[in-house]
């Protein structure tokens, strides 16, 4: 995993990552050189490692992508990077350029045709996703269920359009409100969060999983939305087959296109794909027996064998174990065993002195967050009690971490010297972590 950036300017109304950082994109690895340096360090550990870049829209920074591509081509090591991207950013590069940047897998949000999110602008997805696949780039695409305009028929219609794109992997999640997002604020304001969740925060957090309909829909019951979600997953599997085979199929598309390419980098990439495809031989036997699309599997297997040759001895031995592994998976799925790690719950209780927005007597406190600091905006009048409570809140926010607090005092905020002295004295031990922007008036602040 490479943590290359945080936040996203597109601001989809349900997206906590985007709204937590108030929409600007924060580059943790600012340049292509920085990014390649981290890639190189991972490859020193394992030259064949596949990497995932965590960055909400990795390709949004053109300078970074351009430089990274130069470095990837210059070094010539065939990479396998999975990255998050938007239709908008992907529309600015050709699939070949994407591969030459080391990226052979992307997550693209499909969301819903009428969702209207900014990340959807660019090439039509009907053109983009099949194009990426035909170059060997796997696509994980996600669709959201539970928009107001989605009746059962609309969902089915969208699902068939979505499946026609043949994404390598598909995700269907229910439109869920996360605190801090505009969607959450809207449903709370409109009283549409289901009552038992609105009244019970613990229950709310337990259900905030993408598989629970939490918001009152204009025409569907929660049960109907959740049933639609199950139908989406089942239809995806029935029509397109297991994702693991879809990956092999996509890599094979890439191999066919680039194994005799004029680019030495892309020929190396095709060799890497061939190795991955050969590892998939044991899958065919199982997929033919248990999978929903045996004819497609037979065809794919024959095509791959004709191009890359039959499996070697080692692979044939693994073939024998494939049925055993499939039977074990079947058992664990059917009996819901070993599916998820056990839940370990850690509750962090905040004291009544926690730094929160609100009124401390006549002092209005507003809290904002920047990457490394908490911003505390003050307005009104500071008195003895609010000075003490404010100091306690700030000390609490600084406890057990290396964060910083920036206090911004609005023009005209009243304070007497003695109360400022109390505040200063209480915060003295953390003075190197607290900065204050003072107003020009009244003069007591100076």
Q: Which residues bind ligand SF4 (CB under 6 A)?
A: 8, 10-12, 15, 17-18, 56-57, 86, 109, 117, 119
Minimum CB distance to ligand SF4 smaller for 12 or for 99: 12
User: What string of DSSP letters covers 242-291?
Assistant: -HHHHHHHHHHHHHHHHTT-S-HHHHHHHHHHHHHHHHTHHHHHHHHHHS
Burial degree of 84 (CB within 10 A; 0-12, 13-18, 19+): buried
Q: Which residues pair with 405 in a beta bridge?
A: 374, 434
Among 11, 37, 36, 12, residue whose Cα is nearest residue 24:
11
Minimum CB distance to ligand SF4 smaller for 14 or for 255: 14
Minimum CB distance to ligand SF4 smaller for 18 or for 413: 18
Minimum CB distance to ligand SF4 smaller for 142 or for 243: 142
Q: How far apart are CA 54 and CA 428, in angstroms?
A: 39
| Distance in Å, CB of 397 to ligand SF4, minimum | 27
Among 93, 53, 79, residue whose Cα is nearest residue 269:
79
| Distance in Å, CB of 12 to ligand SF4, minimum | 3
Task: Indicate the DSSP class of residue 432.
Answer: G
Minimum CB distance to ligand SF4 smaller for 209 or for 366: 209
∠53-59-60 over CA atoms, to 5°?
Answer: 125
**Checking DSSP bridges between strand 26-27 and strand 5-6, what pairing results, if any?**
antiparallel
Q: Which residues pair with 369 in a beta bridge?
A: 374
| Distance in Å, CB of 138 to ligand SF4, minimum | 18
Minimum CB distance to ligand SF4 smaller for 17 or for 171: 17
Minimum CB distance to ligand SF4 smaller for 5 or for 282: 5
Map tokens 């045709």 to a residue.
Answer: 113
| Distance in Å, CB of 23 to ligand SF4, minimum | 8
| Distance in Å, CB of 356 to ligand SF4, minimum | 26
Among 95, 99, 17, 27, residue whose Cα is nearest residue 61:
27
Minimum CB distance to ligand SF4 smaller for 275 or for 369: 369
Q: Do residues 427 and 407 touch, judged by C-beta distance below 8 A?
A: no
| Distance in Å, CB of 164 to ligand SF4, minimum | 22
| Distance in Å, CB of 42 to ligand SF4, minimum | 24
Map tokens 């995932």 to a residue.
Answer: 52
Minimum CB distance to ligand SF4 smaller for 11 or for 222: 11
Among 238, 232, 221, residue whose Cα is nearest residue 151:
221
| Distance in Å, CB of 10 to ligand SF4, minimum | 4
| Distance in Å, CB of 259 to ligand SF4, minimum | 34
Minimum CB distance to ligand SF4 smaller for 170 or for 427: 170
Q: How far apart are CA 44 and CA 345, in angstroms?
A: 36
Tokens of 329: 């998976």
| Distance in Å, CB of 61 to ligand SF4, minimum | 14
Q: What 3-state class would DSSP assign to 305?
A: helix
Which residues lie below 8 Å from residue 306, measured CB to CB, with a gap of 6+?
none
User: What string of DSSP letters covers 51-90?
Assistant: EEEE-TTGGG-HHHHHHHHHHHHHH-PPP-EEEEE-HHHH
Establish whether the linkage from the previous residue to 105 is cis, with ω within 30° of 0.
Answer: no
Minimum CB distance to ligand SF4 smaller for 8 or for 378: 8
| Distance in Å, CB of 84 to ligand SF4, minimum | 7
Sign (positive or negative) of CA dihedral 333, 337, 341, 342: positive
């Amino acid at each position: 995993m490479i943590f290359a950036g945080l936040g996203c300017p597109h601001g989809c109304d349900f997206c906590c990552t985007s709204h937590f950082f108030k929409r600007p994109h924060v580059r943790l690895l600012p340049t292509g050189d920085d990014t390649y340096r981290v890639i190189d360090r991972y490859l020193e550990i394992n030259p064949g490692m596949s990497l995932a870049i965590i960055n909400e829209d990795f390709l949004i920074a053109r300078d970074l992508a351009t430089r990274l591509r130069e470095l990837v081509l210059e070094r010539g090591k065939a990479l396998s990077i999975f990255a998050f991207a938007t239709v908008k950013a992907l529309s600015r590069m050709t699939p070949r350029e994407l591969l030459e940047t080391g990226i052979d897998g992307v997550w693209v949000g499909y969301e819903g045709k009428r969702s209207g999110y900014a990340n959807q602008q660019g090439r039509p997805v009907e053109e983009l996703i099949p194009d990426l696949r035909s170059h060997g780039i796997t696509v994980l695409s996600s669709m959201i269920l539970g928009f107001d305009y989605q009746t059962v028929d609309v969902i089915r219609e969208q699902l068939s359009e979505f499946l026609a794109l043949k994404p390598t992997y598909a995700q269907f999640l229910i439109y869920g409100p996360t605190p801090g997002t505009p969607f959450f604020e809207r449903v709370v304001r409109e009283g549409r969060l289901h009552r038992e969740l609105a009244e019970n925060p613990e229950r709310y957090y337990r259900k905030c999983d993408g598989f629970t309909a939490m918001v009152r829909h204009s025409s569907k019951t929660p049960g109907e939305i959740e049933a639609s979600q199950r139908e989406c997953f089942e239809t995806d599997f029935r029509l397109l087959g297991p994702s693991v085979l879809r990956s092999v199929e996509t890599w094979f598309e890439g191999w066919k296109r680039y194994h005799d390419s004029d680019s030495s980098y892309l020929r190396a990439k095709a060799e890497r794909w061939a190795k991955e495809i050969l590892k998939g031989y044991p899958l065919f036997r199982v997929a033919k027996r248990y999978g929903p699309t045996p004819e497609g599997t037979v065809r794919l297997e024959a095509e791959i064998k004709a191009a890359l040759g039959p499996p070697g001895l080692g692979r044939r031995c693994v073939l024998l174990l494939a049925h055993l592994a499939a039977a074990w998976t079947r058992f664990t799925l059917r009996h819901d065993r070993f599916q998820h790690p056990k839940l370990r719950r850690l509750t962090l209780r905040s004291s009544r002195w926690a730094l929160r927005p609100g009124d401390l007597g006549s002092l209005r406190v507003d809290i904002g967050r920047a990457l490394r600091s908490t911003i505390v905006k003050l307005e009104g009048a500071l008195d003895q009690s609010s000075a003490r409570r404010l100091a306690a809140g700030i000390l609490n926010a600084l406890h057990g971490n290396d964060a910083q607090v920036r206090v911004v005092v609005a023009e005209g905020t009243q304070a007497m010297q003695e109360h400022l002295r109390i505040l200063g004295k209480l915060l003295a031990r953390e003075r190197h972590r607290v900065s204050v922007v003072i107003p020009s008036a009244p003069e007591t602040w100076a």
